[in-house]
Structure 1
Amino acid sequence: MQTNASRPAKMLAVLTAVALTTVLTACKSSSGPSTENVTLNGGGSTFVNPVMSRWTHDFAAAHTGTQINYQSIGSGGGVQQVKAGTVDFGASDYPLTDANLAEMKPMLQIPETAGPVCITYNLPGLTKPLQLSAEAISGIFLGKITSWQDPILKKDNPGVALPNIKVVVAHRTDGSGTTAAFTTYLSAVSPEWSTKVGKGGAVSWPVGLGGKGSEGVTAQVRQSPGGIGYVELIYAQQNNLAVANVRNQAGNYITPSTASTTAAIAAFADQLNKDPRVPIVNAPASAPEAYPISTLTFLIIPKDGTDVGKRTMLKKFIQYIVTDGQLIASQLNYAPLPDGVKQYDQQQLSQMTVNGQPVQ
């Protein structure tokens, strides 16, 4: 039976609990926007997908309640989705030009990593890595070199018994940043390619069999003796594909790797510090270790947004990518960003807004 003396004590306890709850609620609401249970959606580059998978997994694991979905649909698809507003961020292996940006709401472009585009091939009986010059690569993809017995190919591979079979070219059919990087290189080394075909995520190929994604290109090469195509390095490694050494302007045949991509970045350091959209293909002869078909990749995000939680977490995610995430990138054979480009990234991030106000 409850006594009269105990009633005031019980009432005091109830009032104290209510007051404490009110104070805690007020503290929570004044601490800024909650970023719990935030879902971010992105899409684009297949080139960056292997490291993006690690970035999204590791970041979400460290931020309870955060989920990041990334669709590897090709750079062209990523650009279109971020333009349409159906994703929170896009990823592309080619930067948006001023003309592209003029057709979209204000966007920020943030370099995220870099890597090489590899030439993969199917040459039965070849035991040494294939060597290819710019003349050979442009001749093959222009359809001018049709046999592996061509004198240009023999010159690149002295003393090597190349098979007496036809060249079978494979290329991407989807909008692709890998294609953009590759055709940017071809345009830089071949005036004929630049005039007849040009560069971009999708071009009118003079010759070859089309495949969707790196998977499609690889399938065409594997099923065609004499086949040759292009894929990103991590994809080639994961699928045990043979890759060619490519001759650079210094006259060296360079294996695609993190180190040779880093050398290509270093060769363009001054230009990149001014504008990270500068291509890093066909480095000058002063960079003897540079792989000539290298590319930066970019995150593309709307400058402004309306969801405070999403924008706050998106900024944290990108901040992670361009800082601690660079170590993960290097472990997966992507080249880390140089300091000048990292500084540019920080400047871009500082421009992120939500409802017109800086994102905290």
Structure 2
Amino acid sequence: MSFPTLSTLRRIGIALAALVAICSAALWSTALPAAHAASYPRLSGDGSSWAGNALNDWVTGVKAQGVTVDFNPDGSSQGRANFANGLSDYAVSEIPYKGDTADPQDQSFPGFGYGMLPVVAGGTSFMYNVQVNGKRLTTLDLSQAALAKIFSGQVTQWNDPIIKATNPGVNLPAQRITVVVRSDGSGATAEFTLWMKHQFPADYAKLCAKTGGCNASSATSYFPYQHLTNFVAQSGSNGVTTYTASTPYTINYDEYSYARGVGFPVAQVQNAAGFYTVPSDTAVAVALTQAKINQDKSSANYLSQDLSNVYAYKDPRTYPISAYSYLIVPTVTHGSFDTGKGSTLAYFGTYALCEGQRTMGALGYSPLPMNLVLAAMDQVSRIPGIDAATASTIAATKKGASTGTANPCDNPTFKPGDSPSVNQLVKTAPFPAGCDAACQAPWTGIAAAVNDGPGTKGGKKHGGGTTLQPTTSTASTAPTAAAGTGAGTGTGPAAATTGAPAAVAASVACDPDTGICSAPNATGDGTQLVANPTVIDGSSTWGPAQAALILSGIVAVLLIFAPPVVARALDVRRRQRLAATGPGEDAEADPDGDGSGW
């Protein structure tokens, strides 16, 4: 009987290892959509710098797959105008062209069919640069009333009583506040002034009256800073961020991602429950469960947002100034936008909605809830020229989400088996320190984690929404007030929080230079909200990537340990044969001379 030689076995082993490696690569490749780079023409778009870091992340992602998409973060107003005038293939904006939340200064409107689709969520933060006794102030608590008065020019000193009231024990400097605002038309400004108009109409009216740069009856994309001597205007999110980082005693407004990018602190803003939060991915996700989504498919503003219920939401975990940002896309060919560009735009939009959501938390944004991802994919399907590969990806995503058998996009907000409208980030969002078990009870469970929008079952409907509020008075329990004027004297709806408990108890020790305070002792199991967002792995199913990972590990183990084990076994067999036949017959027993004895 003939047996394969050791050299033959080695060749077979190498071939098997190569085959397994090829299979592993094939399995890995199924986790990514095919790029078809050669068939995707180059795209150009512009708009929101608020969402600019998210767009740049996606542009880099598709570039690695051979697809070139350009994006210029020149502001939402310019982006909307360029898109309407046919100067760009797509736009990014936080507000629509028309409607209650639109900017009345917009004069350019698309003369062709278009659609809006949400692509990312985030929070408008307030980055500041303040030093106390030579140290950077790293913890600053601000009530919403204080923000309204700072940004309307009524509070101009860092040691103003309304700021001191929420920062007990901190030696706030007797320095003028330099307020840094956007000089260009921006969605960040539109969302911020919309909040001010809704929550603090008297302060917003004073801003408009003093500057002459806005109408108190509507929000504006162009921040009015005329005649305000302590205000400085800079272009773009990078402009206000750079100026604030390099100039002492400044404060600005923009998406949280920018402050994180330069390592500067942002103010902890007091929410309607009396707790101070930053716009982490979870805090934004909690807030946006209260966003009312336009579900009228015949409307040009389909899927646009109404944030009126977000601002005063009383969940202790919420960040009150949160919003969605939108991709604006053509639904017909026009001008230079043909079906070739449409195929690229559909691919890019699908990438942003699927793979692109995985990194949003770490970047300073919050990923879209799955029900809005699915609704946005329906909008992508309307883009002329969408190719079969992209359409297949959308179909697979919708099937996996609807059947509950998979999480095709590995979206952190989604858990297979739950409704796509249930946001996992909300279910797992930590409560702030000082929120005890009684405080937490009304805000736990499925009901508090449901997002409005298409696919919502038995919950929120367009027009009415569902604003969850505490079922008992204990839900608004917060740390003891450090001072009686914590929330200021705003005249809008938020004024109801006047005298609300501050986030820092009077008995808590605070560093007078940095503002860092020891956390108050929670009487329940509340955990401290921190500035660093956490990205939660949304995948709980077995897929190609997991199989490939295990298979690759097995191959690595075999390649390391199999050769010496096989060689040792063959050597033992050769020695046994040699002992039985004698040294004179060794050559005949080992005709190949490889030591195998076969």
Equivalent residues of 1:272, 1:340 under 8 A apart: no
Structure exhibiting the larger radius of gyration computed from Cα positions: 2
> What is the CA distance between 1:345 and its match in structure 2?
0.8
Tell me the number of residue pairs that the alignment of Structure 1 and Structure 2 aligns: 321
Alignment of 1:316-331 (within 5 A): 316-331=347-362
- State the secondary structure of the residue aligned to 1:337: coil
Residues 102 and 74 of structure 1: is their aligned pair in 2 closer, same or farther, counting only changes over 3 Å?
closer
Which residue of structure 2 aligns with residue 122 of structure 1? 129
SS of 2:320's partner is coil
Q: Secondary structure at the match of 2:125?
A: strand
Which residue is equivalent to 2:448? none
CA deviation profile, 1:61-111 (whole Å, cap 9, x unmatched): 22x4x3211112111121111111121111112233247799322211111
Does the CA-based 8 Å contact 1:91-1:298 persist in structure 2? yes
For structure 2, which runs of at least 5 residues remain unmatched after alignment? 1-35, 209-213, 296-301, 392-598
> What is the distance in 2 between the residues matched to 1:283 and 1:151?
24
In structure 2, what is the Cα distance between the partners aligned to 1:122 and 1:34? 44
Could you tell which deviates more after superposition, 122-131 or 94-103?
A: 94-103
Is 2:339–2:384's contact at 8 Å kept on the other side of the alignment? no
Match of 2:325 in 1: 297
**Other-structure match for 1:288:** 316
Residue identity opposite 1:227 in structure 2:
T
Q: What is the match of residue 201 of structure 1?
A: 221
Name the structure 1 match of 2:366. Answer: 335
Deviation larger for 239-248 or 35-44:
35-44
Contact 2:294 2:304 in 1 (8 A): no
Instruction: Measure, in 2, the Cα distance between the counterparts of 1:187 and 1:72.
Output: 26
Q: Tell me whether 183-192 or 202-211 shows the greater mean CA deviation.
A: 202-211
1:139-154 correspondence to structure 2 within 5 Å = 139-154=149-164
> 8 Å contact 1:89–1:302 — kept in the other structure?
yes
Of 27, 45, 49, 2:48 maps to 45
Post-superposition offset of 1:174? 0.7
Shift of 1:302: 1.5
Partner of 1:251: 274
**In structure 2, what is the Cα distance between the partners aligned to 1:115 and 1:37?**
30
Task: Look up the match of 2:201.
Answer: 191
Cα distance in 1 for residues equivalent to 2:361 and 2:108: 34
- Corresponding residue SS for 1:242: coil
Q: Which residue of 1 aligns with 2:11?
A: none
Q: Which residue identity does 1:97 align to in structure 2?
A: K
Unaligned runs of 5+ in 1: 1-32
Q: Give runs of aligned pairs for residues 71-110 of structure 1, distance below 5 A.
A: 71-98=72-99, 103-105=109-111, 106-110=113-117
- Displacement after TM superposition at 1:262 (Å): 0.9
Per-residue Cα deviation, 1:256-295 (whole angstroms, up to 9, x for no partner): 2111111111233xx2263632244743343221111112
**AA paired with 2:163?**
L
**Would you say the 8 A contact 1:42–1:71 is kept in 2?**
yes
The change in CA–CA distance for 1:248 and 1:193 in structure 2 (over 3 A counts) is same
- Tell me the amino acid that sits aligned with residue 325 of structure 1: G
> Contact 1:93 / 1:177 at 8 angstroms: preserved in 2?
yes
RMSD of equivalent CA atoms: 2.6
Amino acid at match of 2:274: G
SS at structure 2 position matched to 1:104: coil
Shift, 1:354, TM fit: 5.2
Match among 258, 272, 275 for residue 293 of structure 2: 272
Is 2:379 aligned against 1:353? Answer: no
1: CA distance between counterparts of 2:371 and 2:80? Answer: 25
Distance 1:242 1:192, change over 3 A: same
Distance 1:262 1:204, change over 3 A: same
Paired residue for 1:61, among 50, 57, 64? 64
User: Letter of the aligned partner of 1:187 in structure 2?
Assistant: K
| Contact 2:182–2:223 (Cα < 8 Å) also in 1 | no
User: Do the aligned residues in 1 keep the contact of 2:48 with 2:73 (CA within 8 Å)?
Assistant: yes
Task: Say which is worse superposed, 276-285 or 188-197, in terms of deviation.
Answer: 276-285
SS of match in other structure, 2:165: helix
SS of 2:220 mapped into structure 1 = coil
Q: Answer yes or no: is the 8 Å Cα contact 1:35–1:310 preserved in 2.
A: no
Letter in 2 for 1:240: G
Provide the residue aligned with 2:465 in structure 1: none
Percent of pairs with identical residues: 29
Indicate conservation of the 8 Å contact 1:92/1:300, yes or no.
Answer: yes
Counterparts in 2 of 1:102 and 1:150: CA distance versus 1, 3 Å: closer
Distance 1:219 1:49 in 2: 15
In structure 2, relative to structure 1, the CA distance for the partners of 1:194 and 1:142 (3 Å cut) is: closer
- 8 Å CA contact 1:273–1:341 kept in 2: the answer is no
Instruction: Report the more deviating stretch, 40-49 or 341-350.
Output: 341-350
Structure 1 pair 149–78 and aligned structure 2 pair: CA distance change class (3 A): same
| d(CA) in 1 for partners of 2:163, 2:145 | 9
1:149 aligns to what SS in structure 2?
Answer: coil
Specify the code of the residue in structure 2 equivalent to 1:276: L
* Aligned residues of 1:179 and 1:202 also touching (Cα < 8 A): yes
Q: Which moved more, 1:122-131 or 1:152-161?
A: 122-131
- More displaced stretch, 48-57 vs 249-258: 48-57
Secondary structure of the 1:156 match is coil
Report the CA distance between 1:173 and its aligned residue.
0.2
Instruction: Give the letter aligned to residue 41 of structure 1.
Output: S
Q: Report the 3-state secondary structure (helix = DSSP H, G, I; strand = E; otherwise coil) of the residue aligned with 1:319.
A: helix
- Aligned match of 2:285: 262
Note closer, same or farther for the CA distance 1:148–1:316 as it changes in structure 2 (3 Å cut). same
3-state secondary structure, aligned to 2:325: strand
- Report if the CA contact (8 A) 1:280-1:296 is conserved: no
Give deviations 1:7-42, integer Å, cap 9, x for gaps. Answer: xxxxxxxxxxxxxxxxxxxxxxxxxx9962511111
